[in-house]
Structure 1
Amino acid sequence: MTLWHETKGDGHDLVLVHGWGLHGDVWEPVLADLQQRFRVTRVDLPGHGRSREVPVGEGLSEWADEVLAVAPARAIWLGWSLGGMVAMRAALDAPERVDRLLAVATTPRFVTDADWPHAMAPDTLARFAGELRNDFRATVQQFLTLQLRGDPQARPLLRTLREAVFRHGEPHHEVLENGLSILGKVDLREELSRLGQPVRVISGRLDRLTHPEAGRALADALPRGDYHCLPRTAHAPFLSDPEHFLELTHDFAQAG
């Protein structure tokens, strides 16, 4: 069984990878514009959305392998949040398949340690995992709220995300727990020097889930990375400021 995926549009192949708990419909506000310029493949990650029956696997590599199985032979990849980690893993494991990469509101390490301060405390993430078991819907809603905290458009965007998250049924609880486990364990920092493709890192200055300084550190650690921070957005810059987000995407895709 393969991931749900849909390919539409014309131009250079572009793969869209969503974040934790959501699905490929989250891209809808920018999808029409992207499909005018790219041949867009969007996916639902294992256990999410319309891929609810796809085995989840235990780690980031398994999720990346599932996306690679339905992705074009060579494409630009655009990954948001946890999807950015999936995209980086795919670029590391199958560099011949990833032409260039846009890493949006993402990080090589989601939780703090002694030399990585710009991240969520491990006990905060562990608390989310515990609350997920006790009150699934409330915890998902809380996580969505945290994604948009501080964003000037938080209220309407939160309505959009809340409507989207359950559009194709509830994600399996074990899938969401597995996703939080991945966020708690993955550390790609030592591998970043091998990621030789051009990478554009896009952060939101108001992001409280993946701090913009984590995005800056990610870009600085990459051989061919560049960094852009959108000043009036939080964790979902493609929803908060689609005009500038699309400008950065198109400009990067057309670069030599």
Structure 2
Amino acid sequence: MQKLHHQTLGAGKPIVLIHGWAMHSGIWQDFAERLAGHYQVTLVDLPGHGHSGPLTPFTLENITDRLAQTLPDKPCCWLGWSLGAAVVLEMARRFPERVDRLVLVAGNPCFLQQNGWPGMKPDVLDKFAANLQQDTQATLTRFLAIQVMALANAKALAKSLKTAVLSRPMPDNTALQGGLDILKTTDLRPALAAATVPVLVVLGKKDSLVPAALSHALPHCQPAAQVCLLEQAAHTPFLSHPEEMLALLKDFMENQR
């Protein structure tokens, strides 16, 4: 089995950062360097993203198998952003001995809106998937803009986001379509409900992909979770509000048991 591209910075309690759909671990670089002043931080390119080879089929089971085979077999804090939140929840479900804390950043255990659960409308995701097949580059460019469009400095953030994304090879189509399938079909609310480790969820009130209403729904799923809604953040709080994110993580790592 081919191992995933990864990089480790700093020393201390271990934290693994898992990026979102169509991205790669380079998106974390500035924030990871700040975090590495306090902890041992490992950045991973998911299969078919960045410098990691492809994976067929691109499923949560296969992704987590690859992560388990790549990284040291020891308990870590797993932090997942967006699609990465589904990956770390699946790690906690399948490999609980490797997970001692969970952090979900702009992530939703059930990404689609259903039965009163706040999420993206199914037809919006279907249209996005159709656009991806017609014009991958244009769809990805629009996706980058959507992540920061509600912020005052959206133009500058979108530019830095695009620069970071283009610093490594574009994701392959199998990974892109597989990632959308995961978002469309996966419901990890039972995994979140079953989690026995400390859980931190960080959401942005201006996020157009993961609704702020999720902050009210999550405690019903996992009452012990610490849910933080950043008033001025959107889908990329580690880029737009790195100091707030760092403070939240330090408090969570040091004070949650």
TM-score relative to the length of structure 2: 0.94
Q: Is the 8 A contact 1:111 1:122 kept in 2?
A: yes
Which amino acid letter does the alignment assign opposite residue 208 of structure 1? Answer: S
Match in the other structure for 1:6: 7
- In the TM superposition, what whole-angstrom CA distance separates every residue of 1:16-54 from its partner, at most 9, and x where no partner exists? 000000000111121211111111111000100011x23
Runs of 4+ in 1 over 6 A off after TM superposition: none
Q: Secondary structure at the match of 1:50?
A: coil
Residue 70 of structure 1 deviates from its aligned partner by 2.3
How large is the RMSD of aligned CA atoms in angstroms?
Answer: 1.4
Which amino acid letter does the alignment assign opposite residue 75 of structure 2? Answer: R
Q: Secondary structure at the match of 2:210?
A: coil
Gapped runs of 5+ residues in structure 2?
none
Match in the other structure for 1:89: 90
Residue 193 of structure 1 deviates from its aligned partner by 2.2
In the alignment, the residues of structure 1 paired with residue 6 and residue 25 of structure 2 have an alpha-carbon distance, to the nearest angstrom, of 8
Match in the other structure for 1:29: 30
Residue 69 of structure 1 deviates from its aligned partner by 2.2
In the alignment, the residues of structure 2 paired with residue 222 and residue 133 of structure 1 have an alpha-carbon distance, to the nearest angstrom, of 36
Q: Is the 8 A contact 1:15 1:71 kept in 2?
A: no
Q: Is the 8 A contact 2:54 2:175 kept in 1?
A: no
In the alignment, the residues of structure 1 paired with residue 150 and residue 86 of structure 2 have an alpha-carbon distance, to the nearest angstrom, of 24
In the alignment, the residues of structure 1 paired with residue 144 and residue 217 of structure 2 have an alpha-carbon distance, to the nearest angstrom, of 25
Residue 58 of structure 1 deviates from its aligned partner by 3.6
In the alignment, the residues of structure 1 paired with residue 189 and residue 32 of structure 2 have an alpha-carbon distance, to the nearest angstrom, of 31
Match in the other structure for 1:112: 113
Q: Secondary structure at the match of 1:19?
A: coil
In the alignment, the residues of structure 1 paired with residue 13 and residue 123 of structure 2 have an alpha-carbon distance, to the nearest angstrom, of 42
In the alignment, the residues of structure 2 paired with residue 147 and residue 56 of structure 1 have an alpha-carbon distance, to the nearest angstrom, of 28
In the alignment, the residues of structure 1 paired with residue 11 and residue 191 of structure 2 have an alpha-carbon distance, to the nearest angstrom, of 33
Question: Any residues of structure 2 matched to 1:126-145 within 5 Å, and which?
Answer: 126-145=126-145
TM-score relative to the length of structure 1: 0.95
Which amino acid letter does the alignment assign opposite residue 24 of structure 1? Answer: S
Question: Any residues of structure 2 matched to 1:33-182 within 5 Å, and which?
Answer: 33-51=34-52, 53-72=53-72, 73-116=74-117, 118-182=118-182
After the TM superposition, which of the residue ranges 233-242 and 57-66 deviates more from structure 2?
57-66
- In the TM superposition, what whole-angstrom CA distance separates every residue of 1:212-249 from its partner, at most 9, and x where no partner exists? 22244224411531111111110001111111110000
In the alignment, the residues of structure 1 paired with residue 225 and residue 56 of structure 2 have an alpha-carbon distance, to the nearest angstrom, of 30
In the alignment, the residues of structure 1 paired with residue 51 and residue 227 of structure 2 have an alpha-carbon distance, to the nearest angstrom, of 33
